[in-house]
Amino acid sequence: MRAMTIREFGGPEVFEAVTVGEPEMRPDLVLVRIHATSVNPIDMKIRRDGYGRGLHLPLILGADVSGVVEDVGSTVHSIAVGDEVFYTPEITSEASGTYAEYHAVHPSIVAHKPVNLSHTEAASIPLAGCTAWDALIEKARIRVGESVLVHGCGGVGALAIQIAKASGAYVIAVCSGYMIEEAQGLGADKVINYKEEDFVEIVKATTDGFGVDVVLDTVGGDTMTRSVEVTKPFGRIAGIVRTDTGFAPAFGKNINVYPTMMERARYKLIALRDLIERGALRPFIDSVMPLAQVAEAHHKLEQGGVKGKIVLQVTE
């Protein structure tokens, strides 16, 4: 099968087009022909230096799939050959990623693709969508009528805005100026341009000094710490990026802080699929590029200014 691999860590130029054998099947796995995948920040972090994961080279990156089941193991009964599916696998030294034509995966993290999305659209959802779901629904447990502050409108942030709105929350989004109209279109009730405005001042004014119930940080740095000032007592802050910033101020307000590492499970994809099929959640895609141009896709994402996910077309 065709695949894009890396034989060393480094810049986007380390990608190499190769032909490798199809993934080895087991009785408890399904084999998926990948129609589309997408580029995520974690892909770039692993490509640069392994991201401390102890991975062995050569390596196939990629953590999103939308495709068609081509084979099922003898113990698999929940999925059949020909089913259109989507999912996000974990990259390990034993399990390759999705910058390839085929992928073998355990069915427990696989769900049927939304019927109203193409493979290109569906491939933009799994990793970012499940991450936003874990942060807002599993950890912060947002409720109808609450207020949610979302830092960043990238892949995760764009879906988080929509999930929060679908949950009945008032949403404040913080993003760059070029994303203001997009954030509004995704459902944000209030949008703050962090390059020109102080989000602390704006959130205080917007909430009459009370602050928000929930904060989601997809940015990093001191964002989470600064957000404590605009989070209500007994509020919740979830973050999806590593940070070394202390959270002592949060204890004085009884704020729960949740570092969030996404955990893969079929039920989350089913929930996202239901939202998509009801029209409450939609893909947010910047561009579609062929798999062979994965290096260009990584360079584009690193340069910034991207509006939505970059999807890689694997099968025409």
Nearest to 32 by CA among 77, 75, 86: 86
Contact, 61 vs 91, CB < 8 A? yes
Give the separation between CA 98 and CA 59, rounded to whole angstroms: 11
Overall average pLDDT of the 79-90 stretch:
97
Confidence at residue 277, expressed as pLDDT on a 0 to 100 scale: 98
Six-digit token string for 308: 């939505």
pLDDT tens digits, 154-190: 999 999 999 999 999 999 999 999 999 999 999 999 9
State yes or no: pLDDT of 111 exceeds 80.
yes
Please state, as a whole number, how many other Cβ atoms lie within 10 Å of the Cβ of residue 201: 11
Contact, 60 vs 291, CB < 8 A? no
Contact, 297 vs 124, CB < 8 A? no
Mean pLDDT of the chain: 95
Six-digit token string for 121: 């659209």
pLDDT tens digits, 12-22: 999 999 999 99
Confidence at residue 245, expressed as pLDDT on a 0 to 100 scale: 64
Six-digit token string for 10: 């480094």
pLDDT tens digits, 5-56: 999 999 999 999 999 999 999 999 999 999 999 999 999 999 999 988 888 8
Strand pairing class (212-217; 190-193): unpaired
> Tokens 């408890």 correspond to what residue?
28
State yes or no: pLDDT of 68 exceeds 80.
yes
pLDDT tens digits, 193-211: 999 999 999 999 999 999 9
3-state secondary structure labels for all residues of the chain: CEEEEECCCCCHHHEEEEECCCCCCCCCCEEEEEEEEEECHHHHHHHHHHHHCCCCCCEECCCCEEEEEEEECCCCCCCCCCCEEEECCCCCCCCCCCCECEEEECHHHCEECCCCCCHHHHCCCHHHHHHHHHHHHHHCCCCCCCEEEEECCCHHHHHHHHHHHHCCCEEEEEECHHHHHHHHHHCCCEEEECCCCCHHHHHHHHCCCCCEEEEEECCCCCHHHHHHHHEEEEEEEEECCCCCCCCHHHHHCCCEEEECCCCCCHHHHHHHHHHHHCCCCCCCEEEEEEHHHHHHHHHHHHHCCCCCEEEEECCC
Q: Give yes or no for a cis peptide into 259 (omega within 30° of 0).
A: no
Contact, 258 vs 239, CB < 8 A? yes
Confidence at residue 247, expressed as pLDDT on a 0 to 100 scale: 67
Nearest to 159 by CA among 194, 122, 195: 122
Give the separation between CA 234 and CA 250, rounded to whole angstroms: 9
Q: Which domains does the chain have, with CATH numbers?
A: 2-125+283-313 (3.90.180.10), 128-259 (3.40.50.720)
